[in-house]
Amino acid sequence: MTTFDRDAIQVFRFVRCGFSAATGVAELAYAFDDGPELVETVTIPGAPFELDAPRAAAVEQAVRLLHLVAGVSYYKAAVPREIRIDGYAIDAATAALMEQVYLNGLGEFAYRNGLDLRDRIRFPVAADPAATAPALALASRALVAIGGGKDSLVSIETLRAAGVEQTVAWIGGSQLIRTCAERTGLPTLNIGRALAPQLFEINRQGAYNGHIPVTAVNSAILVLAALLTGHGQVVFSNERSASYGSLIPGTGEVNHQWSKGWAFEQAFGEHVERTVAADLRYYSLLRPISELAVARQFAKNDHYDAHFSSCNRNFHILGEKPAQRWCGLCPKCHFVFLALAPFMPKPRLVRIFGRNLLDDAALGPGFDALLEYQDHKPFECVGEGRESRAAMAALAARAEWRADALVSRFAREIQPQLDAAELAIGPLLEVGGEHRVPAAVWERVRADFAA
């Protein structure tokens, strides 16, 4: 393709989208100005699919929703001021949702690139309000997103205990996630996603690059997959702390995981019920739960100790993977170790990670960021600073941990500066807050996490 000049581009176009029931492949095409198409494909295994008229109409709406959401991966390359949609029109509510997803979901991207997107992202409104989508008599079984970490495994086991029939689903070719999925003993669905190959060349030529709201994209993919595979629930495992970002001096709050937060879940779930299928439920099972409460629940079961990992270096599209499942150097490794430590025997935790991360003074700056001590919360999917401080305070009171380098330093240098009343771990384990969990499942969640 011709040389990519991000500053010369005027228009980002949603060119076309469609789904082939014969192949199970959705095609999503985009372009800058009048340039060549950038075509992404999403493959749902199990084709061919037989779709009656109502299900086919819902699939068409789901593909359009995916087209709009997945476009964020391409739009960010140049962030032009004009957005066009060819082939179909959207109403004001859909445009408002997309502007919310792009503006907030690209918050970290904008901060790192020194961009202000507030007056730049405008989706064109060219349709009257859509009629409410009908119910499709979808089955009650759940399509559950699995990411290879502790959160999704806790959700899967909670749903199993509640008697909910489920299929665990993931997107891409991660062997680690496949191993975790197979370890559950449940039916699996591995969905393929292939980004337009030109995107990597565009990035090499100087396109804007950075974090996108990938959970929003994955949510739209799983909504489409649920319709095609007969699932009436799409379940994610985003907990309470996902709604809180990093507080940047002079900038304000920037949430790395905005599309894992409550604002996205509520808006997206309502949109799916309004425009795709009235009886397709999208929710996060862990929304009213803290990271520490999830860690406590995970620690009750050692079934996945040798298989799970939350280390993001395992999941980069490009780049080095850790020799083991945990690199021990990234914020995710640091936080998961710290969150599990109060609830798990020390030898078991050290065996999982391969070493004691809290006895390495060189890792101090990383843990300081988790504590929000002389630094802001990392741009990663980690818990709130108050959770990290409470976990560290709990360890400082225990003989088996208090001599470790970072725990000892916390007790000596940091804890005296903190309000002791805010370091109690008990209140952070309480279940409560806004959620979209169906009533029958919610009762099981409350019972499990209260135990």
pLDDT tens, residue by residue, 385-412? 999 999 999 999 999 999 999 999 999 9
Residue 247 pLDDT class (50, 70, 90 cuts)? low
What is the distance between the alpha carbons of residues 397 and 167, in angstroms, rounded to a whole number? 42
Quote the tokens at residue 230.
Answer: 């007969």
The region of weakest confidence among 68-72, 216-220, 382-386 is: 382-386
What is the distance between the alpha carbons of residues 156 and 164, in angstroms, rounded to a whole number? 9
pLDDT cut 70: percent of the chain above it: 94
* Cβ within 8 Å of residue 36, ≥6 positions away: 1, 198
Q: Tell me the average pLDDT across 91-120.
A: 94
Output phi, psi for 29, to 5 deg: -115, 140
Q: Tell me the average pLDDT across 269-278.
A: 98
Per residue in 281-340, pLDDT (tens digit) is 999 999 999 999 999 999 999 999 999 998 877 655 444 454 578 999 999 999 999 999
CA angle 87, 92, 15 (to 5 degrees): 20
Burial of 362 (C-beta count, 10 Å sphere; 0-12/13-18/19+):
exposed
What is the distance between the alpha carbons of residues 177 and 198, in angstroms, rounded to a whole number? 27
Predicted pLDDT of residue 320: 44
Quote the tokens at residue 303.
Answer: 């079934």
Predicted pLDDT of residue 430: 93
* Cβ within 8 Å of residue 304, ≥6 positions away: 150, 153, 180, 183, 298
Per residue in 366-392, pLDDT (tens digit) is 999 999 898 776 677 788 899 999 999
Q: Does 30 score more than 70 pLDDT?
A: yes
Residue 250 pLDDT class (50, 70, 90 cuts)? low
Predicted pLDDT of residue 319: 45
Rounded to two decimals, the pTM is 0.93
Mean pLDDT (the chain) is 92
439-450 vs 291-299: helix crossing angle, rounded to 10: 70
Check residues 293 and 447 and name the one with the higher pLDDT. Answer: 293
Residue 77 pLDDT class (50, 70, 90 cuts)? very high
pLDDT cut 90: percent of the chain above it: 82
Residue 1 pLDDT class (50, 70, 90 cuts)? low
